[in-house]
Amino acid sequence: MAPLQTFRYHVAEDPQVGPGVAARSPRSFAAEPAAGLEPAAPTFTSDEAAARYYLDELLRRDDRPVIRAVAAPERVERVPGLVVLDERDLRPLGTRQVRFAQTHRDIPVFGATATVELNRERELVSASAELDEVSGVEPVESLTRAQALERVAAWTGTNLPPDAAAAGKLMFFRDEETGRWHLAWYLPALPTEPPPTEAGQTGGTASDGSGGGGPGGADEGHGFGRRPVPPSYTFLVDAHDGGILYTYSAIPTALPTPARCTGIDENEVRQTFLGRLAGADGTAVVLDDPLRSVRTYDLEFVDIDTGPEVPASPVPADTSDYGTTNRAAVSAHLNAGRVQDFYKSVLQRDGIDDLGMTLISLVNVTAASMQEPPALLNAFWWQQRMWYGQIMRDGRLVSLSRYLDVIAHELTHGVIESTSGLVYATQSGALNESFADVAGVIINNWYTAADRTDVRTWSWEIGPGLRPDGRPLRDFADPGRLGYPAHMKDFRQLRPGERPGPDNDNGWVHLNSNIHNKAVHHLLTMSRDGSTVFTVEDVAILTYLGMARLAPTATFPAALAAVLDVARTYFGGDPERDAKLEAVREAYRLVGIT
C-alpha cells in the first residue's frame, strides 16, 4: 500500500519551548494579543476537544498542503474529517491518548489515523498521524455491497452467503503501485482466502506441519503449520470496477471468593494457582480465577472443525488439589494468569482488551482436517479465546499450554487487535508478529529466567524444541541460525503485482518480523559501563506503548518513530534522556531501520 503522509510532534523536540518542558499549553498556540493583554487560550471540557484543538493547530502549521488540507482551515470546526476511535490512559506514562480515524465525505480512509497524547491538565505532550488528502475519485459507488461480495466469491472460487458482507462498508483506499485513490468496499473477515498465485502453485513450499518446510514457507506461523480454523480474510474491492485491491488475514462487578488450588503442570512441577469453589459441600472447585478473570475449559479432544461450544463449566476437581489429572489445564490456567499479571502489574493494562475481559482457554483441542487426532501441533488466539493442541512426548500427550512464550505471543495478538489493529500483511503484519514475539520473550523470562533483571540469564528462543529437528521456532539473539533475516538488506518483498495471501505468508510476515525482533534484542542487551542501558520494564513499556500508537498499516520506520515518541515522554525527567533516545536509534540502526 502506498504510504500515507506522516506527521509527528513531541514537545521534547519542539524548539519553540524551553528545555525540560513536559507539555505544551493551549495558551502557547494562541494568537498574538493586543498590547498589554494576555493571550487568549481555550479551555476544554473533554479530552477530545483538547486533542482536536492541538491537532488542528499543528496541522495548520505544516508546510505540506496535503496535511494542511486535513485541518480544513476554511471551516470553523477543528479537524472535521477526524472521528474519535477511542480514548485510553497510558498509565506507565501518566498521560492519556486520544485516537482518531480520518474520513473524507464521511467515508473512512483506510489506514489513516491520528493520535494525541495529553497530560492530566489536557496539555499537549505528543501527536502522530498517518493522513492524506483524497483526490481524483468518484465518491459514489457503482457497485453494491452484494455485488462486491460476488466479485470476491468469483475470484476466490467460494460460495459466500449474502450475509457474509453484513459488516461491509465503503472506504477510500490508495493503491500501492500507482498511488491512485479508489473508492472501495471494505469486507472484513470473510470466510474465504485469496487463491494461490502462480508463485504459490509452482514455487511455494509444501506444508508439512513444521512451518512450511523451513524459513520462507507460506505456513510459517509458529512452525506448527496452518491453524486449524476456517479461513478468514478481509478484502477491499473497487466500488466502481469490482477489482480486488487488497487482502489480508483477519485471524492473529463483584467477584466470587477465589479458592487456592494446586496441581501438577506439563513440566511435572507442582504449581499453586487460584480457582473457585463450585460445590455445595465446599470442597469441589473449578478452574475459574475470579481475581484475574481467567477461566480454563477442557474440550476433551472434540474436533474444532465441528464448531464446539465452550463447555458448561471450567475444568472441575473434587478437591482443591488437581494432582496429575489434567496437566494441560493446569499449565494453561497458570500461564494465562501470568500473562494477565504481567500486563496488569508492569504495563498497567486491564486484561487483553484493557476493559477487563475474561480470558478463556480451551485445552485438548483436535482438528482432523489438519492432523490425525489426538495430536494437534498448534496453539492459537481465535474468537477472542486461546486454543491448545498437544503433541506426543515420551509416550504421553503433552499440551502446548506448557509454552509460556507461545501463550504470551498469542495473547498479545489480542492486545494488538484492541489497540493499533496492525493489518496482518507486509510490514505492518511483520510488526504484528514481532510485537507478539517481544511480549512472548519478555513475559516468559520474567517468570522463568534465573534472574529476570539480568538478560544474560535469559533464553532467547521461542518454542524451544518445537521444530521436527529439535530447533526452536525463532531465536531473538540469532535469527540467522534458523535462516531468518536480521537486517533490512535481507527484507523479503512481494513481487510487483503480487498480493498478500496464504501462499506468501501474507507478505512474509513471519520472516520479516525477525528484523524487528533483532532490533528489540539490541534494546534489551545493549550496555554501557558494564550495565544495560535499559531495564526490562523500560523495554516492555516502550514496545507496548509504541505498538499501541501505530497506524494499522505502519512500517518499520514508523515503529522506531513511535518507540522514540514514547521514550521522549517516559524518560522526560531523566538526565540521560538524550543518550537513551540515541541508544534506541542505534538499536534499530543496527538492523537497518532508520
- Name which residue leads in pLDDT, 519 or 40: 519
CA 558, CA 571: separation in Å to the nearest integer? 20
**Residues linked to residue 131 through DSSP beta bridges, in sequence order:** 5
Residue in the block written with cell 460460495: 159
User: Would you say 376 and 221 are in contact if contact means Cβ atoms under 8 Å apart?
Assistant: no
CA 271, CA 288: separation in Å to the nearest integer? 15
CA distances from 258 to 15, 292, 344, 349 (A): 54, 10, 18, 22
Closest CA to 142 of 151, 153, 134, 155: 151
Between 197-201, 393-397, 453-457, the lowest mean confidence (pLDDT) is in: 197-201
Whether pLDDT at 56 is above 90: yes
**Residues linked to residue 5 through DSSP beta bridges, in sequence order:** 131
For residue 570 the three cell numbers come to 517516559
CA 356 to chain centroid, in Å, comes to 18
Mean pLDDT of 15-31: 84
β-pairing, 316-317 vs 285-286, is antiparallel
User: Burial code of 130-165, b = ≥16 C-beta within 10 A, e = fewer?
Assistant: bbbbbeebeeebebebeebbbbbbebbeeebeeebb
Mean pLDDT of 351-373: 94
Q: Which domains does the chain have, with CATH numbers?
A: 5-131 (no CATH), 145-249 (3.10.450), 253-411 (3.10.170.10)
Whether pLDDT at 96 is above 60: yes
> Is 410 marked active-site?
yes
pLDDT in tens, 386-432: 999 999 887 889 999 999 999 999 999 999 999 999 999 999 999 99
CA 508, CA 217: separation in Å to the nearest integer? 9
CA 462, CA 582: separation in Å to the nearest integer? 29
Whether pLDDT at 488 is above 70: yes
pLDDT in tens, 244-288: 999 998 877 444 568 889 999 999 999 999 999 886 566 789 999
CA 412, CA 274: separation in Å to the nearest integer? 22
Closest CA to 572 of 22, 1, 7: 22
Between 5-19, 275-289, 376-390, the lowest mean confidence (pLDDT) is in: 275-289
- Average pLDDT of the chain is 89
CA 122, CA 436: separation in Å to the nearest integer? 32
**Residues linked to residue 289 through DSSP beta bridges, in sequence order:** 294
Mean pLDDT of 510-534: 96
Write down the pLDDT at residue 73.
82
CA distances from 91 to 119, 347, 538, 577 (A): 11, 8, 14, 20
Whether pLDDT at 183 is above 50: yes
> Is 268 marked active-site?
no
The active-site residue out of 130, 410, 417, 433 is: 410
The active-site residue out of 510, 516, 521, 522 is: 510
- The continuous run of DSSP H or E covering 145 comes out as helix 145-156
Write down the pLDDT at residue 197.
66
CA distances from 505 to 157, 496, 555, 587 (A): 20, 16, 17, 27
- Residue 211, phi-psi category: left (phi > 0), alpha (psi -120 to 50), beta (remainder): left
Write down the pLDDT at residue 2.
55
Count other Cβ atoms within 10 Å, centred on residue 396.
9
User: Would you say 360 and 401 are in contact if contact means Cβ atoms under 8 Å apart?
Assistant: no
Closest CA to 194 of 156, 163, 224: 156
Q: Model's pTM, two decimal places?
A: 0.85
